[in-house]
């Protein structure tokens, strides 16, 4: 009898403990749901994940070009390394955020957006361009162009804007006459109202290629509104191209095959509308990124422009600015 009583008492204790544990878990889960609903930091992180939603078509693309996007969770969105930056609405011209927006800084390979723009305006897209030994002396081998290789103007846009090929930039400028091409770049910048922008070469290697984020927003808006084809090139993950190479000595023709892979990490994200990266020792890291963001039945087409980020920080800076933008639109 006593043994049965002890078993009954023990069973009741076990039941009470189990019920208490389940009730505690329910309370904790409820608190976590309420915290997710009320804590703006969690909401913003979820929005940022949607903002940078991965494009599923990237599954078969080599992963080496997207490693830099996997930045840490942003805890302090004010800690931005860039020396100047701006977030602006491409439809309304509203500036959500700007810092040192008038400061003139070297822009590195952001210059290539303007190189492509001028080439499209003044050159026949089907004009053939020969890659000379002199062109290949330019610093860097991005694009892996080959001596005596023949491209059309529009084909050179792919190595120029996807892999940031200096050789492609030089080839486009030389095909028109280098000095005249640079004059056209500077003249059109003035026509667009980019009053603080100066170009000294077609590549961006020169530290005298300078601008500020206000001028680069003007460029971004012009590209968004009038140059959809160029922005489309900057969105490509990969592009395959076959060209010919004429051996001048033997008059034989060889075929060259290129597999261009974008160096821009944001091509892997579905809301990315286009853009360009830049990097030199003097300019450090720069980036123009155009994004589409849908919120409360409203579409925001925005440009995020950063100049002189510390090395290895431009994607992190861009994502911090995305967080700032999301705070602004939610207020």
Phi-psi region of 82 (alpha: psi -120 to 50; beta: other; left: phi over 0): beta
Identify whether the C-beta of residue 274 lies closer than 8 Å to the C-beta of residue 284.
Answer: no
pLDDT, position 140: 83
Q: How many domains does the chain have?
A: 2
CATH label of the domain that carries residue 62: 3.40.710.10
Q: Do 24 and 158 belong to one domain? A: no
Q: Render each residue's pLDDT in the chain as its tens digit; 331 residues.
A: 566 666 666 666 666 666 666 655 554 454 444 444 444 443 445 455 556 666 655 444 444 333 233 333 333 446 899 999 999 999 999 999 999 999 999 999 999 999 999 999 999 999 999 999 999 999 988 888 999 999 999 999 999 999 999 999 999 999 999 999 999 999 999 999 999 999 999 999 999 999 999 999 999 999 999 999 999 999 999 999 999 886 655 555 667 899 999 999 999 988 999 999 999 999 999 999 999 988 777 888 999 999 999 999 999 999 999 988 888 877 6
Per-residue CA distances from 255 to 158, 247, 251, 285 (Å): 18, 11, 13, 36
pLDDT, position 327: 83
Q: Do 22 and 64 belong to one domain? A: no
Q: Decide if 164 is catalytic.
A: yes
Q: Do 131 and 259 belong to one domain? A: yes
Q: Do 75 and 189 belong to one domain? A: yes
Identify whether the C-beta of residue 132 lies closer than 8 Å to the C-beta of residue 98.
Answer: no
Q: Do 132 and 203 belong to one domain? A: yes
pLDDT, position 38: 41
Catalytic residue, from 81, 101, 109, 111: name it: 109
Q: Is 157 helix (H, G, I), strand (E, B) or coil?
A: helix
Is 43 inside any structural domain? no
| Eight-state DSSP code of residue 321 | H
Domain that holds residue 265: 49-330
Position of tokens 């920080």?
313
Q: Decide if 262 is catalytic.
A: no
Q: Decide if 330 is catalytic.
A: no
**Cβ neighbours for 91, distance < 8 A, ≥ 6 positions apart:** 300, 301
Catalytic residue, from 48, 66, 112, 221: name it: 112
Percentages helix, strand, coil for the chain, rounded to the nearest 5? 45, 25, 30
Is 44 inside any structural domain? no
Catalytic residue, from 101, 111, 164, 262: name it: 164
Tokens of 104: 């003139």
Is 111 inside any structural domain? yes
How many whole angstroms separate alpha carbon 174 and alpha carbon 187?
18
């Amino acid at each position: 009898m006593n043994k049965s009583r002890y078993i009954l008492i023990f069973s009741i204790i076990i039941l009470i403990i189990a019920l208490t544990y389940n009730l505690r878990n329910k309370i904790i889960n409820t608190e976590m749901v309420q915290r997710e609903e009320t804590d703006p930091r969690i909401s913003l992180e979820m929005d940022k994940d949607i903002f940078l939603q991965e494009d599923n078509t990237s599954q078969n693309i080599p992963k080496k070009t997207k490693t830099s996007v996997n930045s840490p969770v942003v805890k302090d969105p004010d800690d931005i390394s860039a020396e100047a930056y701006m977030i602006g609405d491409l439809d309304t011209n509203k500036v959500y955020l700007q810092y040192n927006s008038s400061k003139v800084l070297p822009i590195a390979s952001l210059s290539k957006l303007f190189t492509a723009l001028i080439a499209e305006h003044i050159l026949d897209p089907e004009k053939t361009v020969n890659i000379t030994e002199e062109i290949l002396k330019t610093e860097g081998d991005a694009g892996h162009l080959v001596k005596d290789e023949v491209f059309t103007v529009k084909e050179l846009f792919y190595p120029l804007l996807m892999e940031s090929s200096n050789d492609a930039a030089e080839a486009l400028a030389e095909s028109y006459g280098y000095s005249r091409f640079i004059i056209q770049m500077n003249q059109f910048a003035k026509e667009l109202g980019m009053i603080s922008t100066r170009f000294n070469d077609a590549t961006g290697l020169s530290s005298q290629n300078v601008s500020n984020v206000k001028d680069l927003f003007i460029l971004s808006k012009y590209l968004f509104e009038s140059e959809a084809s160029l922005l489309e090139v900057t969105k490509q993950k990969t592009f395959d191209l076959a060209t010919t190479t004429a051996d001048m000595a033997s008059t034989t023709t060889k075929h060259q095959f290129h597999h261009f892979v974008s160096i821009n990490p944001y091509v892997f994200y579905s809301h990315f509308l286009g853009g360009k990266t830049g990097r030199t020792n003097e300019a450090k890291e720069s980036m123009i990124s155009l994004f589409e963001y849908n919120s409360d039945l409203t579409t925001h087409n925005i440009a995020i422009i950063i100049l002189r980020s510390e090395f290895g920080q431009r994607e992190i800076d861009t994502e911090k600015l995305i967080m700032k933008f999301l705070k602004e639109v939610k207020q």
